[in-house]
Structure 1
Amino acid sequence: MIYRVVIEKGEDFGYVVHCPAIPGCHSQGETIEEALENIKDAIRGCLEALDKDLFPPTGELAFFEVAV
């Protein structure tokens, strides 16, 4: 899946990156490239946490990914 992210220069150092599609999903890096790599990990972590919180395992659910 592709997510649009927003990168801004940090106040003290490096860059801060946000994923508006996932509230609370943020990361940072010393360079733009590092910030982009770090947000990928943050997005994966946020999605994994959302899956566990919103859909606890019951044996009756199956997850699929679809491209739009």
Structure 2
Amino acid sequence: MKLEYAVRIDRLADTDGGGYLATVPELPGCMSDGATPEEALRNVQQAIASWIESAEEWKQDVPKPAPPLARAG
């Protein structure tokens, strides 16, 4: 079963190394980065899989993804 979580992508300051940071608000501490927003998004997919695997190993609940937000227009 594929679970889809909302991902937030923020640009990192040059003083922080530049690039982009992808975080998954529903999975505390789940994040990854990349040189481009697309790379950060690809990388965070592996972080999500690892987060879920670890939670299951530790017998922790894995939050279900929130329903998508409605789109206007």
TM range (shorter): 0.7 to 0.9
Matched, 1:31 2:33: no
Q: What runs of 5+ residues in structure 1 fail to find an aligned partner?
A: 56-67
> Over aligned residue pairs, what C-alpha RMSD do you find?
1.4
Please tell me whether Structure 1 or Structure 2 has the larger radius of gyration of its CA atoms.
1
Match of 2:26 in 1: 21
* Secondary structure, counterpart of 1:54 in structure 2: coil
TM-score (structure 1 length as normaliser): 0.77
Matched, 1:49 2:49: no
The code of the aligned residue for 1:6 comes to R
Paired positions, count: 56
Q: What runs of 5+ residues in structure 2 fail to find an aligned partner?
A: 61-66, 68-73
After the TM superposition, which parts of structure 1 deviate over 6 Å for at least 4 consecutive aligned residues?
none
How far does residue 54 in structure 1 lie from its aligned partner after superposition? 1.3
Over the matched positions of the two proteins, sequence identity in percent amounts to: 36
Tell me how far apart the structure 2 counterparts of residues 25 and 51 of structure 1 sit (CA, whole Å).
15
